[in-house]
Amino acid sequence: MARSSRSSTTRLLYTLYSSPKTTPSPSPFPPPPPCPCPCSSPISALLAGNFHLRRFSSGSAARMKEEKDAWWKESMEKLRNIGISAHIDSGKTTLTERILFYTGRIHEIHEVRGKDGVGAKMDSMDLEREKGITIQSAATYCTWKGYQVNIIDTPGHVDFTIEVERALRVLDGAILVLCSVGGVQSQSITVDRQMRRYEVPRVAFINKLDRMGADPWKVLSQARSKLRHHSSAVQVPIGLEEDFQGLVDLVKLQAYYFCGSSGENVTAEEVPANMKELVAEKRRELIEVVSEVDDKLAELFLADEPISSTELEEAIRRATIARKFIPVFMGSAFKNKGVQPLLDGVLSYLPCPIEVSNYALDQTKQEEKVMLSGTPVGPLVALAFKLEEGRFGQLTYLRFAIYEGVIKKGDFIININTGKKIKVPRLVRMHSNEMEDIQEAHAGQIVAVFGVDCASGDTFTDGSVRYTMTSMNVPEPVMSLAVSPVSKDSGGQFSKALNRFQREDPTFRVGLDAESGQTIISGMGELHLDIYVERIRREYKVDATVGKPRVNFRETVTQRAEFDYLHKKQTGGQGQYGRVCGYVEPLPHGSPTKFEFENMIVGQAIPSNFIPAIEKGFREAANSGSLIGHPVENICVILTDGASHAVDSSELAFKLAAIYAFRQCYSAARPVILEPIMLVELKAPTEFQGTVTGDINKCEKRRDCRERSGLEMILLSPAHVPLNNMFGYSTALRSMTQGKGEFTMEYKEHAPVSQEVQMQLVNTYKAAKAAE
């Protein structure tokens, strides 16, 4: 579709085919439309990149540009890129399933762990359907009231936290789902922190109002205290638990009921008479809270003037986009109540791509920060935020986001991180595991390209600029295990699987144990590693022997120690000569790097061409500390002097000198072992309170966990427990609580082990080495 090939007299412009306007539905929410063809509305046609050719009356170039700009602007304003994140089992996937149904994207609702065995659309992996958990984030899109909504459903388990990081990095807004019974839970705090880190405006959705014990007001107050949300409800539920019937909208002052077999018919009625007082009180609270962060509304409020729905809605929008306020919606995804108003809230309160500031670093100007326009006019800037290998080769999800520009099938794009020029052979939009080919994609979209070899976090441009996007936060793996294929013949498939998973998931690492030669996989927890072992078996048909999971200990030094090492071998053949002098010391607390090397030699004691080999030697030595063979972190090596030989010095000689120098000074630097500490949140029926708290107290590192007892449950949070003490805890908790207890844990930090534990670990390591 070459635009330039069109004659200027006819003035053809690729534009949208305007579909005839539909007559407005009497209901405030239209019933689910039939599956929309991507071109059935101007917006979806534009966004799907499937343009219809339309003749424009001839006009001046300026007029055409004006029209085109207006057209882009409208398309941007009618686009939302949102993520759905929450604690485990809060109902993210169930909610997404309803959204897809009401927007006509799917024709039937299937439940997570539903009796029909089909499973929800967004849990497309067999493992996800079987286990009833989300493992990978999945992207989809739908159309609601003429707006295009791109959605990413993310996992709740902390082991898959990278999926949440990746999604939030590229989204413009988010729905934070909270359970109306569980309230603000440990992962709610984590995802909220992630949303804050990526400056994502959000709305909250208090789900499961149909459940026994549902208390949205308690959850709202927890969100205010635990998450420090400046928030207020924009709805009031009509009834709760079994009696949950509908919602009153505090902005429009209307009551909504959800009828039909799947809640698809929304009827608007007057606010029930017995709720008028409560509604007036909650509306006033909403206005007060928003007024605190929005001057325009504050003026009206202080003047005691009546506030219209539009004024209130606009103020909520301004405050939400400015991340000063979080509107709270309510409902029950499972009972099909409250989803359509939430979708309306996404349109009303969450930003479109051009309302969010995105920055890139200009590599030609020492990483100067540049703001991206977010429009399709301008150089292409796209971020590869997720890689996935599909049936047709590597799929690379690229966020052609807000980050400017247009990309077309067949275009050449440049990977700024590697300098490689790549042709885009195929461009698709994702609907969970299905895909739809498109010709081009524009700023603000999330699309996938095939066959583009890159790493997640790489930035692509059209070559006219050298920008990179700031990278994602990638947490360190905390647990490892040895794996090997049962049959030697499957070695090839085994390596293929590991390579693929490692490329797709930056928190999954593969290494070799230098001593045993075993393959070691590392990840964020037992579940994370178990899932990969299972995927190797299912997707690559390789049975693997799995060792005992072990903790990713680290070593570090606690004081400065000098080294002065001469590596000399000058008897027969090519000689080796290299001397290095200097010291190692701990890096200051909070340093962004884990290893630093500094050459402070004045003069030419060592020729400068040997310095990189010396640094390499120290880095290699720090990969395996001599206490227990784990990597040494937070260490700085300073090279102050040395000596070389005109003939016998070589890179190898200096590298070996550095390795031996490191070993020489290591014990004088008083090394210690660091272990991962986990934040553990635990819930169990009160009858087991004594046993459960007694047990966790035994293995706790630091006692600052709070204990809250309700009538039925106790909640311990957060306990700081070494990961080493958590192996097999799910089985232990199950037996202590007759299967009624549950816990979640999340990595907090690496901290020094006690002297006693250090001695034990060192002795075990020595014994294992001696036995080899």
Please give the annotated binding residues for GTP, written as ranges: 86-93, 153-157, 207-210
Q: Which residues pair with 431 in a beta bridge?
A: 434
CB atoms under 10 Å from CB of 566, counted, come to 14
Nearest-approach distance from CB 87 to ligand GTP, in angstroms: 7
Nearest-approach distance from CB 721 to ligand GTP, in angstroms: 22
Angle between helices 295-302 and 309-321 (to 10 degrees): 140
What are the strands, taking DSSP E only, across 293-426? 326-330, 358-362, 368-372, 381-390, 393-400, 406-408, 412-415, 421-423
Nearest-approach distance from CB 143 to ligand GTP, in angstroms: 22
Residue (134 or 231) nearer to ligand GTP, CB: 134
> Tokens 């899109």 correspond to what residue?
141
Nearest-approach distance from CB 718 to ligand GTP, in angstroms: 19
Pairwise CA distance, residues 427 & 435, whole Å: 9
Pairwise CA distance, residues 89 & 187, whole Å: 11
Nearest-approach distance from CB 240 to ligand GTP, in angstroms: 12
Parallel, antiparallel or unpaired: strands 544-546 and 479-485: antiparallel
- 127: its two tokens: 């493992």
Residue (296 or 335) nearer to ligand GTP, CB: 335
In the complex, which residues of this chain contact ligand GTP (CB under 6 A)?
86, 88-94, 111-113, 132-134, 155-157, 207-208, 210-211, 332-335
Nearest-approach distance from CB 608 to ligand GTP, in angstroms: 54
Residue (98 or 442) nearer to ligand GTP, CB: 98
- 139: its two tokens: 């992207």
DSSP assignment of 602-642 equals -SSSS-GGGHHHHHHHHHHHHTS-TTTSPPEESEEEEEEEE
- What letter would DSSP give residue 410? T
Residue (113 or 702) nearer to ligand GTP, CB: 113
Shortest Cβ contact with ligand GTP: which residue?
A: 156
Query: Is the peptide bond between 376 and the residue preceding it cis, with omega within 30 degrees of 0?
Result: no
Nearest-approach distance from CB 113 to ligand GTP, in angstroms: 5
Nearest-approach distance from CB 172 to ligand GTP, in angstroms: 21
Q: Which residues pair with 256 in a beta bridge?
A: 247, 268
Residue (192 or 210) nearer to ligand GTP, CB: 210
What is the Cα 769 distance to its own chain's centre? 40
Sequence-ordered list of residues with C-beta below 8 angstroms from that of 442, at least 6 positions apart, any chain: 46, 47, 49, 72, 75, 376, 400, 405, 406, 407
Residue (163 or 404) nearer to ligand GTP, CB: 163
Residue (333 or 580) nearer to ligand GTP, CB: 333
Q: Is 675 exposed, middle or buried (0-12, 13-18, 19+ CB in 10 A)?
A: buried
Residue (111 or 453) nearer to ligand GTP, CB: 111
> Tokens 């605190």 correspond to what residue?
292
Residue (334 or 400) nearer to ligand GTP, CB: 334
Nearest-approach distance from CB 80 to ligand GTP, in angstroms: 20
Distance, first Cα to last Cα, the chain: 67
Parallel, antiparallel or unpaired: strands 173-179 and 202-207: parallel
